Amino acid sequence: MFNDYISKRQHMVDTQLLPRGIKDPRVINAMRKIPRHLFLDEALWPEAYEDHPAPIGEKQTISQPYIVALMTEALKLQGTETVLEIGTGSGYQTAILAELAEQVYSVERLPNIAKRARRTLDNLKYSNIVITIGDGTLGWREHGPYDGIIVTAAAPSAPKPLLEQLKAGGRLVIPIGDEFTQDLTVFIREDEQDYSRESYGGCRFVKLIGAHGWGE
Ligand code: SAH
Confidence of residue 216 (pLDDT cuts 50, 70, 90): confident
Measured in Å, residue 131 CA sits from the centre of ligand 1 at 12
Per residue in 12-31, pLDDT (tens digit) is: 999 999 999 999 999 999 99
Full-model pTM: 0.97
Helix (H), strand (E), coil (C) string for the chain: CHHHHHHHHHHHHHHHHCCCCCCCHHHHHHHHHCCHHHHCCHHHHHHCCCCCCEEEECCEEECCHHHHHHHHHHHCCCCCCEEEEECCCCCHHHHHHHHHCCEEEEEECCHHHHHHHHHHHHHCCCCCEEEEECCHHHCCHHHCCEEEEEECCEECCCCHHHHHCEEEEEEEEEEEECCCCEEEEEEEECCCCCEEEEEEEEECCCECECCCCECC
- pLDDT(39) > 90: yes
Per-residue confidence (pLDDT) for residue 2, from 0 to 100: 58
Identify the structural domains of the chain with CATH numbers, from first to last.
52-203 (3.40.50.150)
Please state the atom number of ligand 1 nearest to the C-alpha of residue 68. 7
Per residue in 60-72, pLDDT (tens digit) is: 999 999 999 999 9
Please state the atom number of ligand 1 nearest to the C-alpha of residue 213. 22
Protein residues whose CB sits closer than 6 Å to any atom of ligand 1: 56, 60-63, 86-87, 89-90, 92-93, 107-110, 113, 135-137, 152-153, 206, 208-210, 213
